[in-house]
Amino acid sequence: MQIYLDYSATTPPRPEAIAAMQGVLTQQWGNPSSLHEWGQRSATVVEQSRMQVAGLINAPADGLIFTSGGTEADNLAIMGIAKKYRTPQHIVVSSVEHSAIAQPVRWLETWGWQVTRLPVDRGGRVNPRDLEDALQPNTVLVSVIYGQSEVGTLQPIEALGQIAQDHGVLFHTDAVQVAGRLSIDVRQLPVDLLSMSSHKIYGPQGVGALYVRPGVELVPLLWGGGQERQQRSGTQAVPAIAGFGVAAELATAELATETPRLIRLRDRLFNQLSNIPYLKPTGSLRHRLPHHVSFCLTNIPASQLEGVTGKTMVRQLNLAGIGISAGSACDSGKLNPSPILLAMGYSEPEALRGIRLTLGRQTTEADVDWTVMVLKQVLVRLLPEPVLLKV
């Protein structure tokens, strides 16, 4: 049996998106910047897709900039604002940002920018009062991730965005994990910039989008032909954009049924693993992505500390045909503790032992039940008592 439970990492492109891409590759392959018929056929695909993706978040189509993915969208939001200023200013982010935000901000610090990293509670949530206290006269941007990819926590984006708006400060959110899984309406949500990614919603890899509220100006990261309304030069990846558009339109149509289904599966998985003494849920259980389950391996006997990590669990479940992911990062062969779990107050040994199981369109109750049985068997094999489990 093969069970894929890593939908937060990527999702399989749905057949409708693949068909749209194939149609572009065979019939609408022109350069969308060209004025002739071949180019205009491609340009029509791009603009139709722009409307489809914009519909996912109820945005005006002309507020959307296509990028190469969520990482570029995040970088464009941060650096596109920062590069407007001749002298360093102040920026506020959370302490649990994706590296696509955390690393550009760290680079800005080397150029003299002030950065405030908002603390989070044990569940990974920012307190809006901390944002209120952090704002300064020279604060030019706040960026807080909407749904944390590693621990599943949803931030109070409406409250945070309203605070920024009340102080005249631009607000960005990385909604890569949220778009297509929860309803987003940027006409109501107080955000100025919002990042999305195609391959998180069953579209192709290699394409994403940044929503920019009308009136907000960015300095481009890429210069050249002036595509995407002068905001992102480079010939658009029309086939990928077409797949993104179809995936977004279908996600919009299925949101009302798929989100409750995922929540039921998520809660079923949490409930069936709740009696295992070595597994501690991470992230907020109340404010949580609908498809996301995560744990920290805890109370590991000292004799097993080095041998049982999140990576160990990934490998063991992979041998059983089940795909999950670990929270810690491996760099040049060295296992590093998860900066997200560290920011949430976990110890370094605990932060090496995060695991994540994320659900998707193909996940069934049978998949959940089989995964629970296998996970329990793996723990029984790796760890001694008190694993008195009915497997």
| Residues designated as active site | 330
Separation between Cα atoms, residue 209 and residue 364, nearest integer Å: 30
- Helix residue ranges per DSSP H, the chain: 15-27, 37-56, 70-82, 99-110, 128-134, 157-166, 238-273, 310-319, 339-343, 348-351, 365-382
Angle, CA 340 vertex, CA 163 and CA 356 arms, to 5°? 115
Separation between Cα atoms, residue 119 and residue 278, nearest integer Å: 27
Separation between Cα atoms, residue 122 and residue 235, nearest integer Å: 44
Q: Which class for 304: exposed (0-12), middle (13-18), buried (19 or more C-beta within 10 A)?
A: middle
Positive or negative: CA dihedral 115, 119, 124, 129: negative
Tokens 């329990």 locate to 376
Separation between Cα atoms, residue 272 and residue 369, nearest integer Å: 8
Bridge-partner residues for 331, per DSSP?
Answer: 334
| Whether the Cβ atoms of residue 76 and residue 230 lie closer than 8 Å to each other | no
Q: How many CB atoms lie within 10 A of CB 348?
A: 12
Instruction: State the amino acid at position 221 in one-letter form.
Output: L
Phi, psi at 380, each rounded to 5°: -60, -40
Separation between Cα atoms, residue 78 and residue 91, nearest integer Å: 9
Query: Helix 238-273 vs helix 37-56: angle between axes, to the nearest 10 degrees?
Result: 20
Tokens 């049985």 locate to 373
Give CA 29 to chain center in angstroms: 30
Query: Helix 365-382 vs helix 238-273: angle between axes, to the nearest 10 degrees?
Result: 60
| Whether the Cβ atoms of residue 49 and residue 241 lie closer than 8 Å to each other | yes
3-state secondary structure of 116: strand
